[in-house]
Amino acid sequence: MNEVKELNIKIGNFVEGFTNYNLNFLNDHASLYVTNNSSIDNYRKVYDETRTKSIQEALEKMNFSNWKKSYFKDEVNVDGKHWSLAVKKGFDIQEYNGVDDYPIEFEQLIQLLDDLMNK
């Protein structure tokens, strides 16, 4: 199985700033690191093997291979919600991005990150 090894996500806009999420898998453990350029608060957490397995299973359900490379409702909208996602599986890195539009699984991905930060 070609599991996700790392996710890098950037969400925000040029007015309010961006939040960066890095979810990394190494040695049966996952670590989440979150930074926000409009705040000095950073977040870091390491998850045990059991929680890491459930995170990997949730990511597999995101079907990244079915996503389009770009999602844009208005290409000139600098105030819109910009996002980018890089998914590393093995040596392969797939990149996705958009403004004010995204696949339905993107909401699930953000919910997963929120759950990880709040549990």
- The set of residues, in sequence order, having a beta carbon less than 8 Å from that of 36 and lying 6+ positions away, is 17, 18, 19, 20, 42
In a domain, 62, yes or no: no
- The count of domains in the chain is 1
Domain extent, residue 100, equals 4-53+67-118
The crossing angle, in degrees rounded to 10, of helices 49-60 and 104-118 is 170
In a domain, 89, yes or no: yes
pTM here is: 0.85
- Give the Cα separation of 63 and 105 in Å (integer): 8
Bridge partner list, 23: 7, 32
Instruction: Note whether 20 and 8 are within 8 A (CB).
Output: yes
Q: What is the pLDDT along the chain (119 residues), one digit of tens a residue?
A: 468 899 999 998 877 888 999 999 998 999 999 998 766 678 899 999 999 999 999 998 888 888 888 888 766 666 778 899 999 988 899 999 988 888 888 888 988 988 888 87
In a domain, 49, yes or no: yes
Q: How many residues does the chain have?
A: 119
